């Protein structure tokens, strides 16, 4: 009996530790996404404001060091989360059947988060690679990229997906780790939906500003 239970105990401890790492990496990425959106949207106030902020991060080495570090956290978070994602067709079919059968809102949120994660993994990696291999960041350079056409469509897809994923993640972290009680779920979910819409709106306004920003 003791021999058979030992591996399960060790596995449970490791799962708990990995869940904590997944939560911490998720919170770090959520905070980064919100700060990143606010900093980039400073172009709406003035391109000079955005350029000054970008110059500060590059002059202090935060962009050169922080960028790759965020990318590492991004990949680590996906690997940790992937432990619970069914990649085989039969597993995916089972999850889909259970979600339809239970008709539970939070279960569908998990499904949406998983699907969006797969797309964000690819698109987010492309975005970070393009930005980090083309330093320094400037408002004119960002505007020229978006005005090229392809990148405008690219960000119109990535923006809502990323904010949706972040919003759901924030809600699920609060519920899973007990920060949000059962009775507070509806109120917290409404607040999170409003916050997600707010950041999507900020992102869209920022994209429009880049589209009409002079790059000469």
Core vs surface per residue 17-29: b (16+ CB within 10 A) or e: eeeeebbebbebb
* Structural domain harbouring 147: 15-211
Mean pLDDT value across the chain: 81
Confidence check: pLDDT of 68 > 80 = yes
Q: What is the pLDDT of residues 155-178, one digit of tens each?
A: 999 999 998 898 888 888 888 777
Residue 4 within a domain:
no
Residue 8 within a domain:
no
Instruction: Please report, for the domain that includes residue 120, its CATH number.
Output: 1.20.1300.10
Residue 49 within a domain:
yes
Residue 92 within a domain:
yes
pLDDT of 95 reads 57
Cβ neighbours around 168 below 10 Å, total: 23
Q: What is the pLDDT of residues 9-66, one digit of tens each?
A: 555 677 778 878 888 888 889 899 888 888 899 999 999 999 998 888 888 877 778 8
Residue 170 within a domain:
yes
pLDDT of 5 reads 39
Residue 167 within a domain:
yes
If 0-12 CB within 10 Å is exposed, 13-18 middle and 19+ buried, where does residue 85 land?
Answer: middle
Pair 127, 40: CB distance under 8 Å: no
Number of domains in the chain: 1
Residue 216 within a domain:
no
Residue 38 within a domain:
yes
pLDDT of 66 reads 83
Rounded CA separation 14/71 (Å)? 24
């Amino acid at each position: 009996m003791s021999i058979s239970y030992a591996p399960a105990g060790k596995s449970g401890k490791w799962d708990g530790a990995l869940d904590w790492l997944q939560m911490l990496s998720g919170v770090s990425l959520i905070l980064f996404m919100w700060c990143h959106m606010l900093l980039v949207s400073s172009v709406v106030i003035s391109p000079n404001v955005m350029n000054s902020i970008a110059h500060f991060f590059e002059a202090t080495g935060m962009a050169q060091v922080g960028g790759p570090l965020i990318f590492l956290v991004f990949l680590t978070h996906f690997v940790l989360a992937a432990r619970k994602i069914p990649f085989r067709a039969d597993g995916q079919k089972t999850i889909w059947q259970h979600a339809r059968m239970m008709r539970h809102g939070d279960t569908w949120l998990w499904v949406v988060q998983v699907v969006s994660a797969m797309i964000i993994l690819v698109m987010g990696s492309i975005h970070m690679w393009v930005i980090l291999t083309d330093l320094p960041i400037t408002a004119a350079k960002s505007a020229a990229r978006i005005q090229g056409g392809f990148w405008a469509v690219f960000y119109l897809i990535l923006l809502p997906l990323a904010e949706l994923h972040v919003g759901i993640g924030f809600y699920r972290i609060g519920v899973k780790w007990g920060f949000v009680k059962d009775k507070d779920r509806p109120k917290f979910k409404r607040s999170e939906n409003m916050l997600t819409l707010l950041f999507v709106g900020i992102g869209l306004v920022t994209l429009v500003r880049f589209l009409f920003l002079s790059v000469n």
